Structure formats: structure tokens, C-alpha cells
Structure 1
Amino acid sequence: MKYLFPLAALALLTACGAANEPASSSNNDNGQAVTYPETRTSDTIDTYFGTEVADPYRWLEDDRSEETAAWVEAQNEVTFSYLEQIPYRDSVRQTLSDAWNFERVSAPFTEGDYIYFSRNDGLQDQSVIYRKKEGGEEEIFLDPNTFSEDGTTSLAQLSFSRDGSLVAYATSEGGSDWRTIYVLDAETKEEIVEPLTDIKFTGISWYGNQGFYYSTYDKPEGSALSEMTDQHKLYYHELGTSQSDDPVIFGEAEDEIHRYVGAQVTEDDRYLLVSASVSTSGNKLFLRDLSESDSDFVTILDHTDSDTRLLDNDGDTLFLVTNLDAPNQRLVSTSASEPQPANWQDLIAETENVLRVSTGSGYIFAQYMVDAVAQVQQYDYEGQLVREIDLPGVGSVGGFSGNKDDETLYYSFTNYITASNTYAFNPDSGESDLYIQSGADFDPENYVSEQVFYTSKDGTRIPMIISYREGIDLDGSNPTLLYGYGGFNISLTPSFSVMNAVWMDMGGIYAVPNIRGGGEYGREWHQGGTQLNKQNVFDDFIAAAEYLIEENYTSSEKLALRGGSNGGLLVGAVMTQRPDLFQVALPAVGVLDMLRYHTFTAGAGWAHDYGTAEDSEEMFRYLLDYSPLHNVEEGVTYPATMITTADHDDRVVPAHSFKFAAELQDKDSGTNPQLIRIAVNAGHGAGMPMSMIIDQAADILSFTLYSMGEEEVNLD
């Protein structure tokens, strides 16, 4: 079973504006003068279906150029100089540091003779993996804080061999998606093979103790951070051999593109399942019987019209989770000898609520989302309901998974005002006991978290959870963070965040709508926010903002929009469509150039949600109409904006954010600051060290409140 656990010299600054207009500047409402770095323009023009589109900041896409590095350094100098003038910034940072300074311990899991778990003492940059024998003393097994001096190299994956005697783990440097895999003797903790390098978007699936399957791309000849990675391949690494000799198991055919390939070996080492996708939605599925030498792959699904994966097997019976002919998902069983859809039998049929499924202790656990909150049912392998599980409250759960011989399973429970607690679950009796109580100094009894429903532009009913400190006056004066995502079938279910808890402690409101494009109501909800339906996502978010204002939670002057990645696109699109609606915009690591997103790294795989400018003239014009980069207009006053990105983000390359910032700084006609904060030696977000997380959170909250005109902050 798998468990996861200097820029250019200052002298180069002159290169940024060598052929440029004088640097633009503004004087904001707080009296701070902001002079932006000069950003050179070029005459780059692309033609789509006879329409010319200028791209004056194309040169910022070159992440290896000294000119781009100098621009980054100059922008950071302006941004941090501005942030340093916020009078309560240091106090907010200290408050966040104090709030995060509590021990965090994961649920345990057993491998071989040891019980493993992770722990962070509070402010450690990376959590540490510990282990102990039953009744024995605990010891450090793996300490990612030793991977690099600055804490920016993180543990990205941890996977033990079948008997727990070996372990493979992957590291990420500076948040990059490119990984290195190390293999240790679990008892001695000594490396037993040369590290495997240049691995991207992979699982680590062991075959007994002999070796493991992994996936990667051919490394680009140019920039590893921005060039396209289009053909994913599955490899097998046999221990004792060189990585260069690893055979390609799947994905070598040049006439068939698979951008994402993954492998799973069944717990009994009988079968290998391979999933192959061209996009982030929909996959083909193939089966190989590993008990027969040189067996061929058997096709289970030869199309990408569904999302289908293996849950488990019992001998030659396979259990598959699928949304084929079931938009909300179902669990089916089939024989490995005839695994095609015509032979599938429903074990847990589709219902009106979205299904997620896990296994452990010889049982199946069906987790349903009911208006974005969890309900869990326990089944046996015959599909018979054992019980409905009593949860600690209304919120989200994670866990209910493990090996078939585990006597105890663990799950976490959380919501927006309840820090995550871990519970031990007895699968035979159905009883839950608190196993690890969060050490967060935050009492949910002092807060309110309520679910409301509002109507979007086209009449669609949208749920939203609004959380705040009990006793505040809902008089329209409350600083409010409206957070959204709206894409890729991702569901925003209630979860606790130290940053958001501090925001509420300071009198703020935190609101999360479950807008279309997500997975809260199944495949149709997702499809309702994709491609030529993408405007629905922005309309849903705009309607959420209008609801908060109409119901007197807040006002436009006290409202901030925040989102990351696809959520960064959401914020960018809404701030350019309705700049009057809110005071602050916080787009993070966003997809902001909708005409070129698919030309970078694995961006082409996002086309299922977005479409591309090459698909058709209709799709091109639709993308152009909402692309944040292309809809910044002269003479418009935009909200106070702080774009956040990172120099090692190879998921959504920082050029999106760079070009968007340049457009805002050049065209905005108001006095609100248009800043970009670029984290150095960090990526899309995963693995960011705690010190950087706290620094960034402090800057976001301080900038937001300062831009709302808050002269002081309640930090009691």
C-alpha cells in the first residue's frame, strides 16, 4: 500500500526597461506611492482564425533568461517594500506563527514490524517520519528537514514494499513536480540502489519486494520548468539494475498520446492495472495478469468517456469505481477473465449523491457528498450494507482505508471551524474513539459555520458555507474572504485552516461557494463549468459575492476574492469582468493566459476543462472573451491586487502571473496597488516549508486588510 506522505544580480535590473516607457506609478488610498518596475514590450503577434492577438510580454515566458530574472527581482523589491510599510504586518505574522505552533501527528500505519507516523513539533519546515515497534521507543525514520539547508526540499511520496522491508520515497526540490526516488532498506535505513532521477507525475507501485512501477516523461532538452511534457510512459525498475535499463511497460507508441499514465499492482501481486489519459478527465484502463510470464495487456476500456479505476480485487474478481453510465459514480464487480463493461455488475449502485470508495480491514466504505458534506456507509464485499457510520459532526472525513488484515482503521474529521482530529475505528463493532486531538488553540464553540443556498445568473441553486466569529454584527462592514475553485471535478469540502482561523479571529468572514466545474454534484456539475460553459463558473462566483453583499455580511469595500491555480483563473476572470464588485483580488499561481496555457509543461492535459485556441474559431473567441490576460483594459480601476506565484512552479508556469501583472501595472487607471509576490525556490504549493507558508499568509492577510482601509487589527 502506498503512503504519501541567487536570482540575477541587481545590476541586471537595467535590462528590464532598456527599450521601455517610463515606469508607471500610483499613489494608493493609504498614501503609499508605488512605482512599478519598467517592463519592456515587444511586437509579438499571434494570428488565430484570421484575428491578430498581441502578446507584448512574451519574453517573460523565458524562465532561463537574465532579463526575466532581473524583472522578478525588481518586482519583488517593489512588493516587499510596499508590504514592509503595513504597520501591523509583523504582528499578523507573529500571530500566525503562534497559531501554527502546535504539534501535528498523523494517523499511524503498520509496515513490517514497525508502526509509522509523521509528526511536526509545530514550526518545523517539514514534518518528520517516525516509527516504533509495538511497545518500543520511537525513533526518527526519515527527516525531510535534513534534505536541504533552507527546508525547500520536501518528501513527496513514501511507499513500502509488500512486506515492509524496503521503502521507496520521492523528494521534490523547490516545489518542482520533477522528483528523485530513493530506495532504502527499511531496517537499516541505508540506500540500496542509485537514486532514480527526472521522475514526474508518478505513483510508486511495488511488485512484491522485487521492484516497482513508476511513470515519467522524457526530460525536455530546454527548460525543465516550462517546456511541454506530452508523452507519459510507465516503467518498471527491478532492484539491482540501472535506471537506464528500466523497460517501458506502457506508453511507447508514438502514434498515441497519453499525457498521464499510472499503474496499480493489486495487494496480492496478481494483477497490474494501467490507466492512460489524454486529459485530466477520462481514462482508458488495461489489465495484465502478473502470475503469467510475458502476458499481454487486456483492454478493459478502450475509450476516455469515463473515469474508472480499480478499487481492489478478491482473487480473480475485480472491483472498479466508475462514472460510466453513472455520473455520480458506482462500484461494480467483474471477472478478470472478462473485465469489459458488458460484464460489470453493480455492487453499490449510483445514488443521487456523489460516491467515493475506499477499503480496509476486509470492508468497503462508501463516502457520499451530500451538499458537499460527508456521510459514510460500511459494506461487505458482497455489497451488503453493514452500517451507517456515526461521524463526529457535519464536515469532511478522510481515511477509512488500510490493508485487509488491519484490525483498526483511522479517519480524520474536520470542518471550517473544527481542527482536524483523528479517530480510531473498529470495523467489527462500528465504534469510533478519539485517537489524536488537534492541538490547535481554536474553540469551535466560539464560531459559526452556516450553509446557505443562493441563485446564480441562470437560476442554478448553489450552496455556500459562511464561517465567522460568533457575535459579530452582520452590518455590511465585515472584511470577507470569498474563496473559490470551480474546475477539474475538484470538490471544496469543509476543512480547517490555521490561516482562515486567524482571519476569523481578527473579525473576518470566510465564505466558500461550491460553484460549477467542481465535483460536488457529480459529472454533470463538472461539465456545467467546462469549455463553452466556463462562464457559468464566473457567474456563480459573482452571484456569491452579490449574495454576501445583499445579505449584509459585507460590502464591496470589504470584500476580497481568493483562489489558486484554476482558482487563480477564477479570480482573474471575475476581477476583469466585475472590477467594481470587490476591493481586493488575490489570484494565486493562476492560469491567466488562456490562449497559450496548453503550450507549457503538461498544460495540454487541461483541455477537457478549457478547450484550446486551436480547437475551433468558436472556442478561440470564447477563450479570448474571458482570458484574464487579454481582458485588462485601459482606463479601468481594478481592485487592489496581489498576485502570488513561485519561480519553480512547473505546474502552472509563473509566466501567466508575470504577464498578467505587467498588463495590470501598465493599464490600471486607479490608485490601488497592482503587485506580484514571487516566492523563490518554491513551486505550485506542495512541499512549501512552514516558514514560507507563514510569511506568505501574513503578507496576504495584511495586504487584504490594509487595502480595505483597516488601520489596525484586533489580534487578541
Structure 2
Amino acid sequence: MRHSLLFLIFFIPQFVISQIEYPESSKQPVINTYHNIDVIDNYQWLESQETDEVKDWIKAQNKLSLRFLRKTSRQAEIEPQMNKLMFKRTGGYSGQNFDESSKDRIYFSTCYTSTGSTRSLCYKYGLDDDYDVLVKSSSIPSKGDIDISYYKPSRTNGHLAFQYNRNGSDWKEIRIVKVKKRRSYSEIIKHTKSSNLHWLRNGFFYEKFPFDSLRAKTQKPAIMYHKIDSSPSDDILIFKSRRESDYISMYGAPDESFFIIKKENIETHIFSYFYLDAIDNDLNFKPFLMNIKYDLEGFNFKENQIYATTYLDDKKQVISIPKNEPTKFKVVSAVYDGAIFLEFRVLEENILSLYLTKEGNLFSLVDRDGRVIKETKTPNGLSVDGMSYNTTFKEFFFYLQSFTIPSVLYKLDLDTFNYDLINQTKVGFDPKGYKFIKKTFTSKDGAEVPITIVYKDSLSQNSVTPFLMSTYGGYGSVSSSSYDPGIVYFIENGGAFAYVDIRGSGTLGKQWWEKGKGLNKQNGIQDFISAAEFLIEQKYTAAKKIAIRGSSHGGLIIAASVVKRPDLFGAAEVNVGALDMLRLSNFTVGATPTNILEFGDVENQQDFDNLYSYSPYHNIDNTVNYPSMLITTGLYDNRVPPLHSFKFAARLQNNPSQEHPILLWTQKRTGHFGAINMYDKLEENCYIYGFLFDELNKQ
């Protein structure tokens, strides 16, 4: 079967490149001046996606792209094979949190009720029962697709608040349901974004954002309190920053006993913390730690102690903070040479932390003074993804997965420290033949960069294997090896996959992040380019036999790499990428503290020079025929607005030297994270990986 599919792929008639007639993308020059430098933007008109002109342009682009993508997918007979590789999770557990609302051990989950459905809210009694639908997403009135993305049960009264979006947008609404009676309350809380909801008595705290438009700058939220069965117009304002330079966020104890509000000054990077003790009958937060340099995150609460993570000597560690003497904190996490701390949970008497080591993940159980009690490792090549401690029933769950193995749910026995399989996701292939190797290569400036290579059975060094490369590499995040049916499809059809932990990620700690953010952003771009050169030099593959893809920050890295070194790559998918770095801060979350810290501020001369030097949109060379590209975005993406993809595609399509296809696909009912139902996910995978594989075979 595999060989016959390859035969079909290799003998697909090539699309005649000269016959591509792109929709007209007129040049309407606008001059933007930065630090006395005039930058001409011919496609700024595409930023106004609500105009009829842009709507018609998007429609024409989709018509062209979908005709191309459907033809490729149909001729290669991708859909039957891709469908076998997709998750079989309809009606099953698909969330990452275990929560309970009473002594009946009710477990909640988001789930798909059919292949064409978005996520609904489900529940069951006990681990062995089947899930029933509590709230069906299609029952919520809407002009678009409703996707339930977050839920939070109360600990005292059997209520559950859930958050949903329309068409994948970051803008969300909150509703409330009484679990046992399945009673839905009438109130609808609007203008929320983050999944930051904390129950207290007969109501909950949430973050409310001022709403302007889908692409307007994200403004600072206010902390509000909503009482069950009341109008949102009566919600109580709890906390709001008065200064533009302040940003606020909130944390709460799972048992609803203690709450923290963090205020960060984004100019001075000084932090202040305020607290509310549930034994107080009011809702007034009081000063806790004021004007300190420590950025505390991941709060856990137990009795009279507050636990949080912060960086000490460039290492992320867990500290314990007495409620009554907050300045007298102490470190309570173990330090392992070469290991990267990821996250922790406070148990009844001890603390359980998760680390990333060269041999895989490590669970470490320590006492309240940081002394190691027990340790256990997970298999190398698998990543822990989603861990949760059920405080009422003293149960600890976590997932294991890899690029080629779907999520497997385990329960960790806190006495023996052994873990047992609870359930797994079924797919239509056998992953046993898959192998991986971890290597390092030398980047241009001498840095040693990790790379993971995944293949099936054996990997030849004869320069003929098609390779798929990917990365994320931003914000100090440690990327887990998440299952991707497209990667399996690529490998099943004779290819191999490589993931690159470029500088800017957190894989090797804080310094690795520092060396790839802000003024050092080009280090990460160069690392990715050097990874391709390494694969070629080692004869794993050859130039033009490499397809690359990345999303969001990864989309930026992919686009910048292909613009800088088009000779290395045969095809690319740039998904929801930040591509116009000079105007990033003009829209949605671009000007938030997180992004200013990661990329810099265009108002600063040095930052502007750096952003301009690698911004993919601004560095397109009209004398270069760039590799085939599929540029994908979601119409309702409020995180990286689709205008980035629009402008990048328009400039490439108008490049007089461009011969390889440049396709723009704007998905109509999606946001930053792509398709939100199983059928659309299948179509998405078929189009993306069909395009990449087909374009490589044309080289």
C-alpha cells in the first residue's frame, strides 16, 4: 500500500507554474517613517480585512488555492491514509484537566460528539464510565462555530463555568451550568480572553478586556467578580491598573482559599502582589509583596504557604512563601545538573516537580524543605503533556506522547511512584517501527544546537530522503513532542522528520532563551538554517528535498529562513506567522509586555534596526525565485492577525522573479489554532502535507 501511494505521488502531473494567474494585488504605497527612515508599504490596504475590497481579494485567493490543493490531495489519494492517522477521540476524553465537583468523583472533559462537531463539554462518574454530554456546543446559539475550550467546576456547590469561542477567535464568552440538574443559567459574560477563572463561594473572578475590534490592540484587563444567577452588568470591579505601563494577572488556590493578583510594570520590570484570604468576607485584595524584582508564576497554595516559581541564578526554581512573612521565602525544589525545570504541583505533604533531561522527563518528589524523596523517569522520546493533581481524591494524572505516538493517559501512584495506563488514543497504524535520534550540530557562530530526527526502520545517508523540518523557538517555551498525523504521513511515505530546538526556546534553560530573543532573534533563524545545512552535509537529504513548516513564532522562523536561504528548501508552509515585524505592535497582542520583551519595541532605534533586518515581509528580494509556499491563516485569528499573511503573500505573488507557486489559504471559521472540528482538521492536514510532499517531488 505504501509503495503504490508513493508511485501515485511521484507521477502526479506537474502543475504548470506559468499558468497560475494570481488575483490582482494592487500596489497602494503608504510611507511609514521610523527614526527618520521612510519605509514604503505597498500592501497596507490589506490590513483592513473588513472592507469589501479585501473580502473579495481573500475570496479570490481562496478560490485559486483550494483548486490547487484539492487537485493535489485528490490525485495523491491522501485522504484515506490521513484519516487512518487521525485521532479516534469522538466521545472520548480530549482535555488535559481532571476536576471534581462533589464526592461522586465527577470527571469533566471536552469531547467531540461527531466528526463534524466542535468540542462539547462532557462528564462521567468514575474513570471507567463512558462520557455523557453536559453541554453540546451546537446548543449555543451562534452565527459561527462554537468551540468549548475551557471549564472550571466549583468546589462547593456543584456549578461549572465554561468558556467558549466563535470560529476559533481569542475573544470568548462564559456561561454557567448546574451539573447534576444540567441547568444552564441565562447570564452570558462577554469580552473575556484568557482561561483565568477562579471560584469563590457562589461566584467567580475573571478577567474582562475592553473590546474595540477583532484586530485592535489588546488593552489591559480588569479583574471582575460575577455572582451566579445575576446580570453581568452587576459584576463587581475588583482590580484595575491605573497606569498604561502596568499589566495585571490573577491566580487562585484550587480549594478557593487564597487568591493572588500580580501587577507588572512593563517598563521597569518591577512586580507587586496583592492577596485575598477566603476567610475574609469581603473582596478587597491587600498588599502582599510590593515593588520586588522577582517575577512569580505558577502559584500553588497549601495551608499557610504559597508556592511559586521564579528565576534564581538563571534557574527556574520553586520557592515557598509564608503567608504571614512573605519576605522570608526559601527554595524547595531540587536542582539536577543539566535538567530544565518545567512545572510542579503541591500534594498533601510533598511537592511533585517535572524536569526535562537528556534522557527524557523526570518526576521528582520532594518534602517541604526540598529534600528528594522519590524519582521516576518516563521513556526517552516521549513528552509529558498535561499533568493534574486531584486534591479531593489525591489522584495524579499525566499524558505521554511523541511526534508519532498519540496521547496516552497515565495515573501515577504516589506511594509506589509507578505509573499505570488509564487509556490511550487509537489510530490506524503501528508506531512500533518508528525510531528517533538526538544529535547536536554547530550553528554559524559555534553554538551547539539540539536536533531530534524521527524516521521509520532505518535512515539512509545517501542524500535522497525527503525531510520535513519544524521549530517553534520563542518565548523560552519548551516544546513537547506532540503527535502530528501529518508527520506520520510524511514518514510513512518514505520521508523523515527533524525538530530543531533553536535559540529562543527554553530547551536548554533561560540563557538559551536569552540568546534567541530581542536583539538576538537572528540567532534562532540562523540555527534553523544551520540545521538544514547539517542534514545536507551529513547526507541525510539534499538541498531542495527539505520541506519546512511552522506556526505563529515558528511561522516567523520558517518565513525568515526561506527568505534568507531559499536555495536550501523545496517547499514551505508558513502558518499564522508574524511576518511584518515593523507593524506587529499595531495590532491585537503585538504590544503586550510578552511580545515587547520577545521582539523589542519598534519605537526604539536599536530594536527597529534589528526588526527591519529580519522582518520576512520587508526582506523579500525581487530577483529571487523563492521555493513553493503555502501561507495559511485563520480569518478570526486575534493573536497574529491574518494581515501578516495577506501582505506577505501579495508581495511574493507580485515578485517578478517568482515562478514557484505562492498560495494563500485563509480558513473562514478558524483562529490562531486552525481547524476546530475533526472533519476540517482532516482537510487541513491533507492540504498542507499534500502540498509539501508534492512540491518536493517536483524538484
Counterpart of 1:502, as a letter, is: Y
Contact 2:33–2:39 (Cα < 8 Å) also in 1: yes
Pairwise CA distance, 1:580: 1.0
Matched, 1:178 2:171: yes
Q: How many corresponding residue pairs?
A: 673
Contact 2:344–2:351 (Cα < 8 Å) also in 1: yes
The residue matched to 1:496 in structure 2 has which SS?
Answer: coil
For 1:52, the equivalent position in structure 2 comes to 38
2:648 to 660, 665, 672: 660
Whole-angstrom distance in 1 between the partners of 2:374 and 2:119: 35
Normalised TM-score (structure 2): 0.91
Pairwise CA distance, 1:87: 6.4
Q: State how 1:167-316 maps to structure 2 within 5 Å.
A: 167-208=160-201, 210-220=202-212, 224-253=213-242, 255-259=243-247, 261-277=248-264, 284-292=272-280, 293=282, 295-300=284-289, 302=291, 305-316=293-304
Whole-angstrom distance in 1 between the partners of 2:367 and 2:255: 19
Distance 1:618 1:580, change over 3 A: same
For 1:331, the equivalent position in structure 2 comes to 318
The residue matched to 1:532 in structure 2 has which SS?
Answer: helix
Contact 2:381–2:436 (Cα < 8 Å) also in 1: no
For residues 90-133 of structure 1, give each alpha carbon's deviation from its aligned partner in whole angstroms, at most 9, with x where no partner exists: 62122212322523534754331243244447735334443333
Pairwise CA distance, 1:309: 2.0
2:400 to 372, 394, 413: 413
Q: State how 1:589-668 maps to structure 2 within 5 Å.
A: 589-605=576-592, 606-615=595-604, 617-668=605-656
For 1:111, the equivalent position in structure 2 comes to 101
For 1:679, the equivalent position in structure 2 comes to 667
Contact 2:120–2:147 (Cα < 8 Å) also in 1: no
Whole-angstrom distance in 1 between the partners of 2:586 and 2:23: 27
Matched, 1:703 2:694: no
Q: State how 1:11-90 maps to structure 2 within 5 Å.
A: 30-32=15-17, 33-86=19-72, 88=74
2:423 to 403, 412, 436: 436
Contact 1:649–1:682 (Cα < 8 Å) also in 2: yes
For residues 334-381 of structure 1, give each alpha carbon's deviation from its aligned partner in whole angstroms, at most 9, with x where no partner exists: 2112223xx211111544422123326524211111249311112233
For residues 599-627 of structure 1, give each alpha carbon's deviation from its aligned partner in whole angstroms, at most 9, with x where no partner exists: 10121021101012212x22211111111
Matched, 1:152 2:141: no
Whole-angstrom distance in 1 between the partners of 2:637 and 2:666: 10
Whole-angstrom distance in 1 between the partners of 2:613 and 2:408: 45
Q: State how 1:353-502 maps to structure 2 within 5 Å.
A: 353-359=339-345, 361-362=347-348, 363-371=350-358, 373-502=360-489
Contact 1:100–1:122 (Cα < 8 Å) also in 2: no
2:81 to 89, 95, 98: 95
Contact 2:433–2:456 (Cα < 8 Å) also in 1: yes
For 1:563, the equivalent position in structure 2 comes to 550
Percentage of matched positions with identical amino acids: 27
For residues 393-440 of structure 1, give each alpha carbon's deviation from its aligned partner in whole angstroms, at most 9, with x where no partner exists: 542113442233323321111222332211122112222211113312
| Structure 2 residues not aligned, in runs of 5+ | 1-12
Pairwise CA distance, 1:686: 6.0
Whole-angstrom distance in 1 between the partners of 2:265 and 2:215: 19
Whole-angstrom distance in 2 between the partners of 1:102 and 1:150: 28
Distance 1:246 1:70, change over 3 A: same
Counterpart of 2:21, as a letter, is: T
For residues 466-494 of structure 1, give each alpha carbon's deviation from its aligned partner in whole angstroms, at most 9, with x where no partner exists: 00111353321222111011111111222
Matched, 1:348 2:337: no
The residue matched to 1:169 in structure 2 has which SS?
Answer: strand
Pairwise CA distance, 1:182: 0.3
Contact 1:486–1:537 (Cα < 8 Å) also in 2: yes
Whole-angstrom distance in 1 between the partners of 2:624 and 2:152: 52
Counterpart of 2:132, as a letter, is: E
Contact 1:320–1:331 (Cα < 8 Å) also in 2: yes
Pairwise CA distance, 1:277: 4.3
Please tell me the root mean square deviation across aligned C-alpha atoms, in Å. Answer: 2.5
The residue matched to 1:556 in structure 2 has which SS?
Answer: coil
Normalised TM-score (structure 1): 0.89
Matched, 1:536 2:523: yes
The residue matched to 1:534 in structure 2 has which SS?
Answer: helix
Contact 1:374–1:394 (Cα < 8 Å) also in 2: no
The residue matched to 2:100 in structure 1 has which SS?
Answer: strand
Distance 1:394 1:37, change over 3 A: closer
Contact 2:669–2:675 (Cα < 8 Å) also in 1: no
For 2:575, the equivalent position in structure 1 comes to 588
Contact 1:647–1:682 (Cα < 8 Å) also in 2: yes
